Amino acid sequence: MRNSEFITGKVPITKEEVRAISINKLDLVNAKRFIDVGAGTGSVTVEAAYHYPNIEVISIERNDGALDLVHKNIEKFDLKNVEIVKGYAPINIDGKIDAIFLGGTGDNLEEIILWSKELLNNGGRLVANFIIVETFNETLKLLRGHGFENIDVSVLNVSKLERLGRGEYFKPLNPIYIISCERGEE
Ligand SMILES: C[S@@+](CC[C@H](N)C(=O)[O-])C[C@H]1O[C@@H](n2cnc3c(N)ncnc32)[C@H](O)[C@@H]1O
């Protein structure tokens, strides 16, 4: 889906190229339940729920303005397989989960990593996006320390063609760090 298809506001939306790669790394084909943490505009929630209509998507967001956008985008795409939860993760979720996306975390990183580990099935996927190098480094260290496996890290540098004077150029957007990994079997 293109970013222009979503209703947006003041919340920064995940770039469509980053979303495509992140959702691919979540490996939702056989998933039944997926959590989007820090749903923002709801773009990841919507895209996952739309392309995988058989999964249950739980969309967690703490900010009222963002929650309003999540509601509007879910309505726009007429999705019935999304549960929106207002709150600051980690929050109580019943039952096990197959995949978790961290699009926003706040300052309680370790709690979120431990909560994710508790919720995920063995082999369940965790994918996280970062723009801040320190948060990325800290998360990587925590994932390694808490036994997550098959950790894969990419940095995505997207540039978009834009007009410049009488010609065009590729305007670079800020790099995004993507971590993907699995909950190890215990
Ligand atoms: C970069 S935005 C997410 C963008 C989103 N993936 C999208 O495409 O619109 C980060 C969001 O995470 C939310 N957030 C940060 N930490 C959170 C937490 N611990 N629990 C719930 N929401 C959180 C923020 O309010 C913000 O809306």
User: What's the CATH architecture for 3-182?
Assistant: 3-Layer(aba) Sandwich (3.40)
Ligand 1 site residues, Cβ closer than 6 angstroms: 11-14, 37-38, 40-41, 43-44, 60-63, 66, 88-89, 103-106
Please give the pLDDT value at position 184: 87
Cα–Cα dist 38/50, whole Å: 18
40 CA → ligand 1 middle, Å: 5
31 CA → ligand 1 middle, Å: 22
What residue segments make up the domains of the chain, in order of their start?
3-182
Task: List, in order, residues 6 or more apart from 165 with CB less than 8 Å away.
Answer: none
Please give the pLDDT value at position 107: 84
Give the residue whose CA is nearest to atom 4 of ligand 1. 40
pLDDT tens-digit profile of 45-57?
Answer: 999 999 999 999 9
Q: Is the ipTM of this complex over 0.85?
A: yes
Please give the pLDDT value at position 185: 83
168 CA → ligand 1 middle, Å: 33
Regions of the chain where pLDDT drops below 50: none
Q: Which of 140, 152, 149 is nearest to 180 (CA)?
A: 152
Give the residue whose CA is nearest to atom 16 of ligand 1. 105
Cα–Cα dist 115/64, whole Å: 23
Please give the pLDDT value at position 79: 98
26 CA → ligand 1 middle, Å: 17
**CA distances for 103 relative to 54, 168, 175, angstroms:** 22, 32, 15
The pTM of the full predicted model, rounded to 2 decimals, is 0.97
Cα–Cα dist 65/49, whole Å: 21
According to DSSP, the residues that pair with 97 across neighbouring strands are: 120
DSSP symbol at 147: T
